[in-house]
Amino acid sequence: MTNKISALITSIAIGLCSASATAEQITAKEVLIDADKQQALIKENITIFDKNVHIVHGKREIKADRLEAHRRPELGDNKQLLVATGSPAVYTEVMEDGTEISAQALEIRYDVASETLKIQGDAKIAMADQHIVAETISYDIAKQLITAEKDENSSTRVRTTLTPQSDDTPEKEQ
């Protein structure tokens, strides 16, 4: 029984480390999760992290009030779905070109294997000069594809705000 608990926690968290870990210290496959409290629901293959949750996966970070890490054995080993909730839960990523993308919502679902985010509940995403607000926003990290949708029972539509760069902003050299 103790081995099963240990294996579950190891497979879901893929190594819990201290809060001082940085994105550069983590391999692309490792997911580090820090929190004030952790519980494991062994039969359901779910680990729950509560209070001050901080997740680091490469150059991606999520901060939340609560995180449920679901192991999905039907997809093979080490395939997790991370469900972060908060007021709001916040996702940030530094892109290859140095641009930062950030998102926030009441719930952020991060499928580690497929590298997709589903941001829902007062969802907002910002990148460079573009800000999108919608009930639900999907982000395919590998394809760098953002899809925003209104709630089907709401009259509130997707809103995008484009902020032009000012003339004072120096252009990047090509």
Q: What is the pTM of this model?
A: 0.72
Between residues 79 and 115, the one the model is more confident about:
115
Q: What are phi and psi of 71, to 5 degrees?
A: -85, 135
Confidence check: pLDDT of 10 > 60:
no
Closest by CA to 126, choosing from 98, 162, 164, is 162
32 to 17, 108, 144, 157: CA distances (angstroms)? 6, 17, 23, 36
Residue-range domains of the chain with CATH? 2-162 (2.60.450.10)
- pLDDT surpassing 80 at residue 23: no
Name which of 71, 87, 23, 61 is nearest 141 in CA terms. Answer: 61
Q: What is the average pLDDT value for the chain, to the nearest integer? A: 77
Query: Which is nearest to 117 in space by CA: 58, 72, 60, 77?
Result: 60
Please report the pLDDT score of residue 15 as a whole number. 33
- Which is it for strands 60-71 and 145-149: parallel, antiparallel or unpaired? unpaired
Is the link from the previous residue into 164 a cis peptide, with omega within 30 of 0? no
Q: What are 87-143's pLDDT values in tens digits?
A: 999 999 888 888 899 999 999 998 877 888 899 998 999 988 889 899 999 999 888
Percent of the residues in the chain that have a pLDDT greater than 90, as a whole number:
30
Residues 160-164 have a mean pLDDT of 85
Q: For residues 120 and 14, which has the higher predicted lDDT (pLDDT)? A: 120
